[in-house]
Amino acid sequence: MISGGPKDGDSNRARKTSSRKLSNMEIVDHMVRTGPTLSFGPDDLKGLSDTTHNDALVIRALVANYDVARIFVDSGSSINVLFQETINQMDLGEYKVEPVVMSLFGFTGHAIRPTGLINLPLTLGKDRTSKTRIVSFIIVDAPSAYNAILGRPAMTIFMAVASALYQKLKFPVGNEIGEVQGDQKISRKCYVEEVRIEQKAVKVGHDDRPGPRGREQVNLLEENTPMTAEEECEEVLICPPTGSVRVARTIEASLKEKLINFLNENKDVFAWTKKRHFGPEKYAVIQGQVEELLKAGHIQEVYFPTWLSNVVLVPKSSGKWSMCVDFRDLNKACPKDCYPLPRIDQLVDSTSGNELLCFLDAY
């Protein structure tokens, strides 16, 4: 089961708003969709190599006109996933990748930060019973036996019903029914490969080899370790006045000492100032203006978190957004200018005797 991502908005506030709207919705009985009835029967079992199986439903479909195999149909996933390795084999230059803030969570609670979000045309079925819709895929850079995962959003868009028992995905196409047949052989291969990948990840996660800087890594989240409430934590200063972190009071003394030493040694890789979050619309505006500044050569990318400053979007009278940078912390650390601003009456008097006055815009 996969949860998280930009479902109902790419922020916790947007999700809460969506939840409140859903709880206040009224059921409208007279709004009945027309179309064929989707059902499964004995005829759908024909062609299966084993009718007593418990194989997952793995299909193939056209994604952006690419024939993509190993697509896992997962009704337990709140998002659709397209893995980075699959995208690397596709030429998707015309499609824009949007940023994603919210992390993804599996049933174990481990978080994965997505690479981005991309909207691609997905075609299910063949010939006259085929159906194409624009589907939002969350890009994940992680090893997987599958090329993509179709979750509940895709099932809703296609009004599809999946059956792992019958190894079919059915959806309405006008007054007819389109369907996609699963591949049991590929499904079983993917299962074996996925288990091997997960076993390898578990072994790597419990390895005590040196970290990227040749230092001892501290495994902060062992298996079955519950999250700690804030009131059960104590504040620990990290090389004052750098910042502070909260550590569980119940943690062992030896592990606590290793943890604090580890954070002190790596304090330069943390941004100790708070990052400001925006909604999807504002993130798109920020990304566009940053790309324009990079293209013009006005700014360049650096890795220097000491003076990491948030951007601020200010609404214009035209309804558009103007991007500014919050340099208040930087201004506080800069020496003050001891020369006061000139008096406006002196500026006016200084123009006396001149024929022209130039107001040059430094834009």
φ/ψ of residue 129, rounded to 5 = -100, 25
The pLDDT tens digits for 188-216 are: 999 888 888 877 766 665 444 333 333 33
Distance (Å, whole) CA 156 – CA 359: 59
What's the whole-model pTM score?
A: 0.52
- Mark whether 187 and 47 lie in a shared domain: yes
For residue 68, pLDDT beyond 90: yes
pLDDT in the model for residue 252: 84
Specify the residue for token string 């050569």.
297
Residue 125, token pair as written in the block: 């079925």
- Given a contact cutoff of 8 angstroms between Cβ atoms, the answer to whether 102 and 5 are in contact is yes
User: What's the domain range around 304?
Assistant: 280-337
Task: Give CA torsion, residues 310, 315, 318, 321, to 10 deg.
Answer: 20
Pick from 1, 40, 36: which is nearest to 167 by CA? 40
- Mark whether 45 and 185 lie in a shared domain: yes
| Number of domains the chain is built from | 3
Helix (H, G, I), strand (E, B) or coil at 315: strand
- Mark whether 39 and 188 lie in a shared domain: yes
Distance (Å, whole) CA 310 – CA 326: 6
For residue 109, pLDDT beyond 70: no
Which residue intervals of the chain are DSSP H helices?
12-24, 84-88, 152-158, 184-205, 253-265, 280-295, 328-333, 344-350
pLDDT in the model for residue 210: 37
- Mark whether 54 and 112 lie in a shared domain: yes
Residue 124, token pair as written in the block: 């299910």
- Mark whether 255 and 309 lie in a shared domain: no
For residue 220, pLDDT beyond 70: no
User: Using CA of residue 244, residue 250, residue 253, residue 254, what is the dihedral sign?
Assistant: negative
Residue 169, token pair as written in the block: 């995905």
pLDDT in the model for residue 135: 94
- Mark whether 140 and 38 lie in a shared domain: yes
- Mark whether 174 and 44 lie in a shared domain: yes
For residue 351, pLDDT beyond 90: no
Helix (H, G, I), strand (E, B) or coil at 161: strand
